[in-house]
Amino acid sequence: CKGHDFCGEGHICGDHSQCQNLLTRAACVCRPGFAPIREDEAYCQDVDECAAGAHYCHEFTTCTNTAGSFHCDCLPGFLRVDDYSCTEHNECISGTHNCDSNAICTNTVGSHRCTCGPGYIGNGTTCQPFCDGGCKNGGSCVSPNVCLCQSGFKGELCETDVNECAVGIAQCHPNTHCVNLPGWFHCECRAGYHDNGSFALNGDSCTDIDECATGRHSCQNQTVCVNLEGSYDCRCPSGQHCSGECLHDGQTKRNGHVWTLLGDRCSVCTCVNGQVFCRRTMCECDNPNVDLFCCPECDNRITSHCQSHNGQVTYRSGDTWIHDCQSCRCLQGEVDCWPVPCPKLHCRHTVLLEGNCCARCVGSPCETDGDSAAAVVPDLTKSCRDERGAQQLGGSSWRPDGGPCILCHCQDGNICCSADPLCPFNN
């Protein structure tokens, strides 16, 4: 039969304790996870199973005590199996790591390690290709030991200037001759021609100089100056006898006379029918009496060789090369360098590209490099109207509506916009 309910008669138990009917009376019993404060168990307190070691948490977990119980939390880098156990999480296999695409992911206990792969440098989360020796002349390292060269350069490290004149890239007008420069070229008017003021890039603006009209000739002794395309001729009038002598540096030279140019022992001049022609001394290296001062390329002695600035290249006497925007030449064991001559530009907008030694003309102010010393100073008097119709002063900058990473500026009345590299939304 059903026993008597002693608890129903108002037997009171404290917190975390519950009443339990016995055969002859009621008694207080602590709830699971609690221990009695005194013998009658009317009052109970929480048992810290974690501290007492009375929990069931397995390896790779942390025991956390709760009121009347406990729970097991997985350590960082581990995944839950059940309420009491966790297993290691392999981020490398699951793809939940933060390693760069060019890094090697190595799983560790509770975590992982990122190491940049061969040919790359960085902290593992970001890896950049590494080119041994570095890319020269503005080139970019795009993969291990592979440089992407800027226009006008070539070589494994972009260390070699492309001679556009020699390879036929340059399309210069016949009235000009091509002058190779580091990274590009220049079409320069030939002797007897000058630019008409339009300064065409291909030299189409080079026109003939009338030496006779301008007095830039050497005709004398009754000879008559006759202008020719790119030159002139000294002719005797009909019925007269002309000596064909030449006037040079204030001295009269007879027709056919050959002499060494004053102050330059490596140049010889000839008077031919009233005209003076000068040229460099012809170098015949087979001649045992060749002047090595004028013909350093004929000097094959090892002591006359030169080393490049980094010591990696050996040049023979007479060789020339470009280094840091300087033309260098090996002269009998000594290196002489001088600044690369840059053509005079007659245009408003110029730009000095990275890796180039000389500025070049561009058609738009937006193509100029604002940080370049060759860039033209903006005209502050020329304003612009932005996309909202507001007037922007010359030289001012702003961000257009809806373009937090676009930066526009007013330059010579033109609106020039580009992506802002410092914008956090670009990262």
**Of 142, 161, 180, the domain-final residue:** 161
Amino acid at position 106, single letter? T
Domain endpoint, select from 112, 142, 161: 161
For residue 250, which amino acid is it?
G
d(CA 319, CA 321): 7
Q: How far apart are the C-alpha atoms of 212 and 218, rounded to whole Å? A: 9
> What single-letter amino acid sits at 39?
E
Q: Are 182 and 340 in contact (CB under 8 A)?
A: yes
Question: Residue 426: what pLDDT?
Answer: 47
Q: Quick one: which of 43, 41, 78 has its CA closest to 61?
A: 78
Backbone torsions φ then ψ of 298, nearest 5 degrees: -90, -5
Question: 20 lies in a domain?
Answer: yes
In a domain, 253, yes or no: no
88 pLDDT tier (thresholds 50, 70, 90)? confident
Q: Is residue 66 part of a domain?
A: no
Counting the structural domains of the chain, the total is 3
Structure tokens at 348: 């408003």
The predicted pLDDT at position 81 comes to 80
How much is the pLDDT for 396?
83
Q: pLDDT, tens digit, for every residue of 331-385?
A: 878 888 888 888 777 676 777 877 678 887 766 667 665 444 444 455 667 888 8
Cβ–Cβ under 8 Å, residues 336 and 351: no
257 falls within a domain: no
Q: What are the pLDDT digits (tens) for 294-325?
A: 887 788 888 888 888 777 778 888 788 888 88
- Cβ pair 146, 135 in contact under 8 A: no
Handedness of CA 120, 121, 127, 128 (dihedral sign): negative
Phi, psi of 94 (to 5 degrees): -75, -15
Q: What is the mean pLDDT of the chain?
A: 82
| 390 in a structural domain | yes
pLDDT tens readout for residues 59-69:
889 999 998 88
With a CB cutoff of 8 Å and minimum separation 6, the contacts of 334 are 306
The answer, yes or no, to whether residue 328 has pLDDT greater than 90, is no
For the beta carbon of residue 418, count every other beta carbon within 10 angstroms: 10
Element (H, E) at 284: none
* CATH number assigned to the domain comprising residue 148: 2.10.25
Using an 8 Å Cβ cutoff, are 211 and 220 in contact? no
> Within a domain: residue 316?
no
- Determine the pLDDT at residue 239: 59
Nearest residue to 363 (alpha-carbon basis) of 200, 179, 140 = 200
Q: How distant, in Å, are the alpha carbons of 61, 161, 316, 334 from that of 299?
A: 81, 26, 8, 12
Domain residue limits at 135? 131-161
- Token pair for 306: 């030169």
The answer to whether residue 218 sits within a structural domain is no
Q: Note whether 314 and 342 are within 8 A (CB).
A: no
Q: Is residue 317 part of a domain?
A: no
Q: Determine the pLDDT at residue 65.
A: 93
359's tokens: 């500025």
Residue 9: HSE in the Cβ half-sphere, 13 Å Cα cutoff? 9
